[in-house]
Amino acid sequence: MKTKLHLFRRTKELEQKIDAYFDKLSEASVVYRLAIRVYLKEGANEDFQGRLERVNGLESAADHLRREIEAQLYTNTLIPDSRGDVLGLIETIDQLLGQFEGSLWAFSNETPDIPKEFRSGYRKLTGMVVKAVDELGLGARAFFRSPHDVPAYNHKVMLYEKEADIIGTRLKKQIFTADIELARKLHLREFVEQIDSIADTAEDVADRLAIYAIKRIV
Amino acid sequence: MIDPLTLIFLSSGLFLGWALGSNDAANVFGTAVGTKMVKWRTAAIICSVFVILGAVISGAGASHTLGKLGAISALPGAFMTALSAAVAVYTMTKSGLPVSTSQAIVGAIIGWNLFSSNPTDGSTLATIVTTWVVCPLLSGVIAIGLLKALKFASKQGKVHLIRADAYTRLGLILAGAFGAYSLGANNIANVVGVFIPAQPFSDIQLGTMVFSSTQQLFLLGALAIALGVFTYSKGVMMTVGDGLGRLSPTSALVAVTAHSIVLFLFASRGLEAWLSSHGLPTIPLVPVSSSQAVVGAIVGISILQGTTGIRWSVLRNIVAGWVATPFVAGILCFIGLFFLQNVFGLQVQ
């Protein structure tokens, strides 16, 4: 009986850690969106720096959780059949957290000067990217409890990624037709691509997730 | 105190028990240990305890059927019957042929019947042979039903993957315990069943309970099985995945449960009495092959998952086992009895 209780206590702890890991992702995506909004309005001020620090903290906490989850899965030889998939999922989601962090650092270090007419484009792009990541987070959670629901979330990730691409392309066209220096154009394009690449990664993770879910269903 | 000569005669049955423990424990716990869901030591302890319980508590049913096929009344005759079954199992395993102690012992008993001019009960033999065919089929059908139910439950229950893993581990231990109990109940007849009419023990009164002579014999046989589990089953359990193909822990749970249910159905006197009291057709209590029950379950799972159709090579091997094993054991028994009687001057009937 003691063994049984011990077994389920450990199980619950690990479940909570996995849930907490995905919480970090959703939290980071919300803070990222707010940080970009602040930057577009007021530049790299204290508020922006605070949000950057928060995303940093979330990335570190997620890293810590990832190591704990990996160690626990291996040490206790849990889910032998899906272990590789779960570790793959967690590691690729870690890349997303890294991209959120990297993007904000780039804004903080390079402080791109974004003309007013492009700001709504950046805001829309960020909104779409964050939506893609949010749907991915929901899909990843669903993988653990109801893999049958994963395709519905993945479908939305693809949809938001495509929208982000459309917005990004439109924004780049706008930038390159504007009457500004080429160096500035290139700098602005770099940031469009950096933000858009987060949605691309979300799509890549969703593709993997689709396979993992199929394996679980079969 | 048991006469040392009696122990020598019993040794062939105990050898058969050891061989059964070495090989068939893998059918119960092999996939669980192979996939590292359960530690080997845990598996070996649970397997041994429940094999002993199954044999002592529920072993009588299938033994009774073997007794009807041929009641071997002299210890040397029983010795040779068990020995020829053991030798048939050993040599055929060495040749890479699938073999079942159930089929070997039936062949050996028929060999004894032929040698001693004892008529073989045709209806009992027909029941036994039919059961062998039904066993893997039934196991496959039960496995399909169980897997469907499990999939439905997991879809509805939305259990977290990590929790489902913990449930599967617990399920594998429980199914393994049930499987070991059923294995003991069903297969103890193969190991020491032939010694029942000639066995040397007497009943022991334990308060209000009687520990019958047959139960003592079953205990001895079950201890031999447990010895086989502890001394030789580890390697078999570790490599079971290679022979049966890679199974997921869920499929392993389904396969072991289906196997255990089938072995239990063909061993339970309680169920037989219940069915009979409700006017339902009863299930014959016959020793069946644990390996074939597992293979039947795995084929059922594969068909349901669409990973493979009917594996003809597996079926061909099973059918070859049905024919070849009793035949080889019967011939060996006949020749062995001839030597025991005419060379050593022992009374075999």
CB within 8 Å: B248 and A81:
yes
**Nearest-CB residue to A80 (from B158, B162, B249):** B249
What is the rounded CA–CA span in Å between residue B183 and residue B261? 10
State the SS3 of A167-197. HHHHHHHHHHHCCCCHHHHHHHHHHHHHHHH
Confidence (pTM): 0.82
Q: What is the pLDDT along chain A (218 residues), one digit of tens a residue?
A: 445 556 678 888 999 999 999 999 999 999 999 999 999 999 999 999 999 999 999 999 999 999 999 999 988 878 888 899 999 999 999 999 999 999 999 999 999 999 999 999 999 999 999 999 999 999 999 999 999 999 999 999 999 999 999 999 999 999 999 999 999 999 999 999 999 999 999 999 999 999 999 988 86
Domain membership of residue B148 (yes or no) is yes
* Closest alpha carbon within chain A to B250: A81
Q: Domain holding A171: CATH number?
A: 1.20.58.220
The total of other beta-carbon atoms located within 10 Å of residue B148's CB is: 12
Closest Cβ–Cβ partner in A8, A80, A216 for B37 = A80
- With CB atoms and an 8 Å threshold, state whether A86 touches B161: yes
- Domain with A134, as residue range(s), is 2-217
Q: What percent of chain B has pLDDT over 70?
A: 92
Domain containing B193 equals 4-342
Q: Is residue B269 domain-resident? A: yes
Nearest CA in chain B to A78: B165
Residue at B349 is within a domain: no
Residue B91's alpha-carbon distances to A162, B77, B95, B97, in angstroms, are 66, 21, 6, 9
Question: Is residue B348 situated within a structural domain?
Answer: no
C-alpha distance from A201 to closest chain B C-alpha (Å) = 24
Name the residue in chain A with its Cα closest to that of B38. Answer: A77
ipTM here: 0.83
Closest CB to A144: pick one of B35, B155, B160.
Answer: B160
What is d(CA B30, CA A139) in angstroms, rounded to the nearest whole number? 35
Nearest by CB: B166 against A11, A146, A216: A11
Query: Which amino acid type is present at position A52?
Result: L
In this prediction, residues B220-243 reach a mean pLDDT of: 80
Give how many domains chain A has, as a whole number.
1
Cα–chain center distance at B300: 20
Q: What is the pLDDT of residue A3?
A: 52
CB atoms within 10 A of CB B207: 5
* Structural domain count of chain B: 1
- Asked if the structure places residue B263 within a domain, the reply is yes
Selected for mutation to probe chain A from B155, B165, B303 (highest A CB count within 10 Å) is B165
With beta carbons under 8 A apart, name residues in chain A contacting B305: 218
| Cβ contacts of A14 on chain B, cutoff 8 Å | 162
